[in-house]
Amino acid sequence: MQATSDASVKSAGAPNRVRTWGRRGAAATAVLAASGLMLTFDATSGGAQAQRAPDAQNTIQTPYGPAPTSFADIVDRTRPAVVSISVTNGAKKFDAGKGGPQIPGMPDLPDDHPLKNFFDNLPKEYRNPQGRGRGPARPSLAQGSGFVISQDGYIVTNNHVIDKASEIQVRFDKDRKYVAELIGADPRTDLALLKIKDANGEKFPFVKFSSGKVRVGDWVLAVGNPFGLGGTVTAGIISAQGRDIGSGPYDYMQIDAAVNRGNSGGPTFNLTGDVVGVNTAIYSPSGGNVGIAFAVPAATAVEVIEQLKRDGTVSRGWLGVKIQNIDEDTASSLGLKAPKGALVSDVTPEGPAEGAGLKPQDAILTVNGSTIKDSRDLARKIAGYTPGENVAVGIWRDNGKKVLDVELGRFPSSSVELAALREGKPLAPKVTELQQLGLSLKPGKSNEEGGVVIANVDPESDAARKGLKAGDIVLE
């Protein structure tokens, strides 16, 4: 579940909703929490201990094998590697109009929140002390969870926990605090990789990803920082696998261990102390735990984290088409015997698919000989290839099969970039955002050194904490 605030809300159908928590302070009364991907690592300073089977004295024999009478031994081995994450998100301004926080320090409330109308209809003088426009810039705070995956301090968490963070602090169960830096993040799977700074050679307790298969009904433990309480353990089972929660082509694991706001990025362990998932989201009509949480499976997480550690980003293949599922009626109209594959509804101008000759109303049936079940299956398979790689795309067109060779592009790094490409527009040049640093600049004076002058510094921003002042000249 997401532990931060101002996160996007994704409806899974009224009245229940799947949502991710944005960055919010402890006073926020949001309606949903997210919890996420689960990874397995050694929770001790050595890897062997976390792989031990539950102690015999803490199990009982059943017709289906030993069952635990206590999870205490597993918790003792794994909890030292789980951290609470606190994030400062630069300086944000609150908006006195509708569509933004109505009172300084208060979050955006969901539409179905019982106090939503009350705050929306407050007089302007109560929304904003100045009674106009936008209020003063204030840093926003967020909390989440994470876990250490190596002795030298690499930490896995959710992307939405640390998104746009200007400062990240991690705290272990015994109140040891460290500053962490962002190594890389992948919004598509909501995963991020951090590294503890200035560790001075210290070796940290860590846990490992599980490499084994999980089954519906297996016991799992969720460890994290719900509501800022830290070091909290809940137990449950794997309720389902292969869940589609409307956040891309990847499948999620469903668990019924209690997951709440602040558990985002925390691990889900199996009974050998390995991470089987990263808690990412919950399904709830009220915002509280109802026994339905979702996690990124370990296999997906391992693949993403390895790329983030190596490159700082995740590169995926991109075909450049809009697609939809093929139902029985569509299959019949196309002359297909079975409703399988993905139907191309639109082709991105100057994209890989257009260059290879794909057209709207083509039905994509195979990729490199592998059968395509539906649109999500196609998206997963294409994402698994490297940008620049050539793939053979088997299509059905005009009541016949045809194979096209496509050189895949790189999947766009943001929804804005993807939308621009689909509309055939050139990408806007990337610029540095200074608002989250708490700075505003003006042209420097004419001199040999050049540079720009800092016009204002928000006293509550990261820039102010680092000692920057109005009048300082930025040279490089």
* Residues taking part in catalysis: 160, 190, 264
Whether the Cβ atoms of residue 225 and residue 266 lie closer than 8 Å to each other = yes
**Using an 8 Å Cβ cutoff, are 188 and 300 in contact?**
no
Query: Residue 71 and residue 73: Cα distance in Å, rounded?
Result: 6
State the sign of the Cα–Cα–Cα–Cα dihedral 300, 301, 303, 307.
positive
Q: Tell me how far apart the alpha carbons of residues 101 and 119 are, in angstroms, rounded to a whole number.
A: 9
CB 198 within 8 A of CB 230: no
Of the chain, the end-to-end C-alpha distance in Å amounts to 40
Instruction: Give the count of beta carbons closer than 10 Å to the beta carbon of residue 406.
Output: 25
DSSP 98: T
How far apart are the C-alpha atoms of 216 and 236, rounded to whole Å?
11
DSSP 81: G
**CA–CA separation, 162 and 141 (whole Å):** 10
**Residue written as token pair 């200074």:** 434
**Local structure of 16: helix, strand or coil:** coil
- Residue 444, beta-bridge partner list: none
Task: Let me know: does 342 contact 362? Beta carbons within 8 Å.
Answer: no
> Is the distance from CB of 267 to CB of 47 less than 8 angstroms?
no
Q: What value, to the nearest 5°, has the Cα angle with vertex 135 and ends 131 and 136?
A: 135
Degrees, nearest 5: CA angle 335-363-188: 150
Alpha carbon distance 6, 261 (integer Å):
13
Q: What is d(CA 332, CA 151) in angstroms, rounded to the nearest whole number?
A: 57
Cβ distance 190 to 294 under 8 Å?
A: no
Q: Report how far apart, in Å, the C-alpha atoms of 326 and of each of 338, 340, 341, 459 are.
A: 9, 6, 6, 56
How many Å apart are CA 305 and CA 319, to the nearest integer?
A: 24
| Distance (Å, whole) CA 474 – CA 347 | 45
